[in-house]
Structure 1
Amino acid sequence: MSECPVCGADMKAFDDPVEGELLECEECGVELEIVAIDPIVLVEAPEGEEDWGE
């Protein structure tokens, strides 16, 4: 069991977590990223940056 780093809500168990996987907190709606598997560590996902065609 992990918790949302933004609101502290308990996150449900993950069936097959993958590092880099994105998911959404059911309580606050923030997008989270799995950055470690054992134990599962969640961080707020970075906003996608526009590359302006570069």
Structure 2
Amino acid sequence: MATGLQSISDESWGLDNVTISTTLVSEPSIIILFGAGLVGFALARRRRIK
């Protein structure tokens, strides 16, 4: 009863040889990005309220 598909019970059917790479970001950069995001949310909220 082979249809060309692997059986559902085979747990390795979808992913093979996956690599995830990360890059360290310095702490001041994270703080600046977080602050910019907060300012953006505040401006969007202020604009929506008016």
TM-score band, normalised by the shorter chain? Answer: under 0.3
More strand by share: 1
TM-score, reference length from structure 2: 0.21
More helix by share: 2
